[in-house]
Amino acid sequence: MSNLPDDYKPPDPYNLPTGPLDTSTSSYGFSHTMIRIKDPHVSLDFYTRILGMTLVRIMPMAAGKFTNYFLCYPQSEVPDTDNHDGLMQWLWQQQGILELCHNWGTELPSSGFEGYKSGNEPEHKGFGHICVFVDDLHKACDRFTKLGVQFKKRPEDGQMKHIAFILDPDRYWIEIIQKSAGDKEHAIP
């Protein structure tokens, strides 16, 4: 399946940049990732009820015929939504926000829309997954099972016993790791 030359050697991961080298980036932070969703009712239920995220902003864009939903695990108290300026200041200081973009009408059966590509299909490799950490991986997986969540990989599957992958309603992969466990097999010494 691979078209790599027989003598191919990947770059040495220990000789790649680890940054940051430029101190002018010391105040940078990871803000958000946007993924497209087919049905906001189904996706918002999944991310709020199943994964426990908080919906902190809804941004309908009538001109573009889409709505963006911003979710996160708040790192401080969420300001009142009536205080738009305060909410915006707070929101853009949070890290790890998930923006769900719903293009209007994709949820309608009459649209014929079959869904988005997750980025993990062989012919569409690209985007891989988002990751959520939990206090206890096995308890979380038991809960997901009881809630009918579809798994791509359970902790007991394969060689990497410290992670699981679940699928959201649009079949995006979500890695589940235990807090403080991290990627034991790929940590940089």
- Please report which confidence band the pLDDT of residue 180 belongs to, taking 50, 70 and 90 as the band edges: confident
Contacts 24+ apart (CB under 8 A), 168-171: 168/43, 168/46, 168/47, 169/37, 169/38, 169/39, 169/42, 169/43, 169/46, 170/35, 170/36, 170/37, 170/38, 170/43, 170/115, 170/116, 170/118, 171/115, 171/118
Identified catalytic residue from 77, 114, 121, 175: 175
Which whole number is the average pLDDT over 29-40?
93
Phi-psi region of 165 (alpha: psi -120 to 50; beta: other; left: phi over 0): beta
175 known ligand binder: yes
In the residue annotation, 185 being an active-site residue is answered as no
CATH number of 30-107: 3.10.180.10
What's the count of helices (H) and strands (E) in the chain, helices before strands?
A: 3, 8
Question: Any binding-site annotation on 32?
Answer: no
**Domain ranges for the chain:** 30-107, 119-182
> Residue 84 and residue 91: Cα distance in Å, rounded?
10
Lookup result for tokens 């890290």: 95
114 is in an annotated binding site: no
Q: What is the pLDDT of residues 52-73, one digit of tens each?
A: 999 999 999 999 999 999 999 9
How much is the pTM?
A: 0.82
CATH of region 119-182, choose from 3.40.50.10490, 3.40.50.11540, 3.10.180.10, 3.40.50.261: 3.10.180.10
Per-residue pLDDT, 30: 84
Q: Burial, 144: exposed, middle or buried (Cβ in 10 Å; 0-12, 13-18, 19+)? A: buried
Same fold, 30-107 and 119-182: yes
